[in-house]
Structure 1
Amino acid sequence: MSLAPGGRSPGGAEPCPCGSSQPYAACCGPLLAGDRLASSAEQLMRSRYTAYAVGHAEHVWRTWHPATRPERVTPDPTTTWTALTVLRTEGGGEGDETGVVEFVARWREASADRGARTGELHEVSRFGRRAGRWLYVEGDVG
């Protein structure tokens, strides 16, 4: 099974965690299941966010460029991803070989000794195509 311990698979009609306003089954669900490839850098970034949100580390690893991919992807089980806002995109479309997506991902973290904390991750991610597939290359966190 692809879900991490504690992971969940949203119901098909449930809104997609990526914030697209589409049902999970029509948005990121088929990408996480491996039934469809991302058609743009933004769509891949949204699916990777969803993978973190539902505990699907395999999708995150599978969509990372081999030149920059770590040996293992191990999401923090105490972190809950709560919202995604895409700020801008550059390239990353059908006729492009590279793309940039800037986004803010909000999170909540449970801690026994500190209580719940919230925060956000602001990243400018770079994507590239390899054999026709969009892959995450690297990102700058700011």
Structure 2
Amino acid sequence: MPKTTTPEACPCGGPSLAACCGPYIAGETLPPTAEALMRSRYTAYTQKNEPYLLATWHASTRPGAPIIDEKEPIRWLGLEVKSTLRLRQRKVDLPDDPDSDTVEFVARFKLGGRAHRLHEVSRFLREPDSETGAPRWYYLDGSFPT
């Protein structure tokens, strides 16, 4: 019986890069939700894809200095999405702003042989794209829960 090959899972945990974050990173389509953008940004970090990270960072908080060190031996191990704020808000019937969202996640990585966890609550805004005018999500900033 011939052996079938399956595509590798997307770094963010999706089925495959081509069926998950790949089209966003390639610029073929825009992430439809803040969570999809957050997952694609995680994948871009695993690829050390600084142009995508900067393009998806809100202009008001985008860093001017490089954010990726090509020589840094970081190995990303996995992503766990803890929550999306708007989903929690709907459950308790709070007012909802469709153009802002918050995603809490934990990203695991190894650096210098030591395992680390990045636990962040990220804020996102949806605004018109400066070139096309199409609404798109941008990473605004994040905080680190204790």
Conserved 8 A contact 1:61-1:72: no
Q: CA deviation at 1:74?
A: 2.5
Q: Percent identity?
A: 45
Q: C-alpha separation between the residues in 2 aligned to 1:36 and 1:16?
A: 17
What is the TM-score with the length of structure 1 in the denominator?
0.81
Residue 106 of structure 1 and its aligned partner are, at CA, apart by 0.2
Seen in structure 2, the aligned counterparts of structure 1 residues 119 and 139 have a Cα distance that, compared at 3 Å, is same
Give the length in aligned residue pairs. Answer: 123
Q: Contact between 1:100 and 1:127, CA under 8 Å: does it hold in 2?
A: yes
SS of the aligned residue for 1:26 comes to: coil
Of 70, 80, 94 in structure 1, the residue corresponding to residue 63 of structure 2 is 70
Q: Report the aligned-residue RMSD.
A: 1.7
What is the CA distance between 1:96 and its match in structure 2?
Answer: 1.4
Query: Partners in 2 of 1:74 and 1:80 — Cα distance?
Result: 16
1:129 and 2:122 matched? no
Structure-2 residue corresponding to 1:141: 144
Please state if 1:81 is matched with 2:83.
no
Larger radius of gyration: 2
SS of the residue aligned with 1:82? strand
Q: Which amino acid aligns with 2:80?
A: T
Unaligned ranges ≥5, structure 2? 1-5, 88-96, 129-134
- Which whole-Å deviations, capped at 9, do the CAs of 1:81-126 have from their partners, x for residues lacking one? 110000000128xx8100000000000013xxxxx11110000000
Q: Map 1:5-24; keep pairs closer than 5 Å.
A: 13-20=7-14, 22-24=15-17
Tell me which stretches of 4 or more aligned residues in structure 1 moved more than 6 Å.
none
**Structure 1: any 5+ residue segments left out of the alignment?**
1-11, 111-115
